[in-house]
Amino acid sequence: MAKSKKRVIMLADCQSFYASVEKAAHPEYEGKPLVVSGDPARRSGIILAACPLAKKYGVTTAERLGDALRKCPHLVVVRPRMAEYIRVSLHITDILQSFTDLVEPYSIDEQHLDVTGSLALFGNPVEIARRIQHRVLYETGVYVRVGISDCKVLSKIACDIYAKKNKDGIYTLEREELAETLWEKPVHEMFMVGSRMTRHLYKMGIHTIGDLARTPLPRLTDRWGVNGEVLWRIARGIDSSPVTPHSQLQQQKGVGHQMTLPRDYTDWKEIQAVLLELCEQVGRRCREKGLMGCVVSVGCQGADYDRPTGFSRQMKLADPTNITDEIYGAACLLFRRHWNNLPVRRVGVSLSDLSPDSLVQLTLFGDRDRKRDLERATDGIKRKFGETAILRASSLQDSGQAQERSLRIGGHYK
C-alpha cells in the first residue's frame, strides 16, 4: 500500500493588519507610532491594532485609547475603515489562491493554505512562503508571517510562537521535533490557553506544553470534558481537518444582531426603537437567505460589567416567520416580561430553529402575504440605494441607531 504524501499546511498572518493597511495608504505616517482605534466619543475608544513601533512604547491591542496615549502622547490615532480592510483581505486571498486553490480564511488577517500539490510548481515550502511574503508586501504594503507544518493547528502554532519572532517571519515546525521544540515552551504560549486556563493548569502541575501533551487524557476530560481533549490534541499536534475553502458556509443555526448603545437606555420607548431596528435587520437577513425561524431570543446587558445585570430569554412562535412585525412583537413581549427596569447598554435579538421559507403555513387571519410583499419591496430599495434610503420613523428619534449603524461594518466605521 502506497504511503500517503505528507501534507504541507501554512498559516499566513498579516502583521498588525489594520495598522499596516493605514501605513501603506498614508506614507506620511512612516516612522511614526500608529494605532487604529474606535471612536472615543461613542465609548468605543479601544485599540484595534497597533503598529510595531507603537508596541515598542508598550501600546497593546484591546487596551483603552486613553491609556495608550499616556504611554505614547505623540501616537497617531486613525479611525478604522472596515470596508478597506475587507477589500485588502480579499486581495490577499486572491494572491494566496494563485499558489493553491486550497485557501481557508481563519480570520480577516489569517488564512490557511494547503500547498502540498503546489511544491512541483513553486518550489519548497520556504520558497513558497517567501514568494507569498514578497507579493503581498508589494501589492498591499502588508507584511505577512508564515507558519509551516503538516496540519492546521501546528501551522498556527508555528506562526504564533516562532514565525512572529523570527527575523524573516517564516518558521517550519516539524512534527518529529515537537519534544525538542514546542513541548519545551510554557503552556501559556499555546494556542487556546488564556490566563484563566493557565492558572488552572498550573494548579494541576502542568507548566509546559509538553506537560500537557503527556498528561493522561482521562484526567483532562474528567476536568473539562471535550475542551480537555481539545487542549490535549493541540499540544500533541493532532489535527486531521482539511483546508477547506468554503468551510464557513455550514448549516446556519440562527440569525441575530446585537448593538452596544451610546448611553444607558432607561425608557421603554427608547428601547422599543432599538428592538424594532434589530428585528428589522434579523428579518431582512433571513429573507435574503430564504429562511424563517420559530424561536425568538432577546437579551440585554447593563453598563456595569463588574456587577452584571440583564437577561437572555427565548420563546417559540406558533408558526415560523421572517416578518419584522412578528419578530418584533415577540421581542417586545419577552423584553417587557423579563426587564427589571435597570439601565440597558447592550441589546440583542436573534431568530433560530430555522427552515426554508419556500413552505409557508397558511393562516385564516392576518395579512401575512401583504406584509411579505411590503418587506420585499423595502428590502429591494435598501439593496439598491443603501440602508438609510428608507427608514421607520422611530429610527429618526434620538434613541434610533439605524443611521449610525449604516456607517459601520461589524461595529466599526467603514
Which residues are the active-site residues? 110
**CA angle (113, 186, 12) in 5-degree steps:** 15
- Say if residue 239 carries a ligand binding annotation: no
- Say if residue 373 carries a ligand binding annotation: no
Q: Which of 288, 269, 356 is nearest to 321 (CA)?
A: 356
Cα separation, 155 vs 112, whole angstroms: 8
Q: 3-state DSSP call for residue 142?
A: coil
DSSP state of 400: -
DSSP state of 322: -
Q: Which of 269, 256, 253 is nearest to 347 (CA)?
A: 256
Residue 18, all three cell numbers:
489594520
Distances (CA, A) of 61 to 74, 78, 139, 143: 17, 14, 26, 18
What sign results for the dihedral spanned by CA atoms 185, 47, 282, 86? negative
Q: Is the distance from CB of 27 to CB of 48 less than 8 angstroms?
A: no
Radius of gyration of the chain (CA): 25
Q: Which of 166, 147, 153 is nearest to 11 (CA)?
A: 147
- Give the total residue count for the chain: 414
Distances (CA, A) of 177 to 173, 371, 391: 8, 64, 60
Cα separation, 403 vs 390, whole angstroms: 10
Cα separation, 56 vs 58, whole angstroms: 5
Q: Is the distance from CB of 221 to CB of 79 less than 8 angstroms?
A: no
Q: Is the distance from CB of 409 to CB of 82 less than 8 angstroms?
A: yes
Cα separation, 8 vs 48, whole angstroms: 32
Q: 3-state DSSP call for residue 42?
A: helix
Detail the residues annotated as belonging to a binding site for Mg(2+): 13, 109
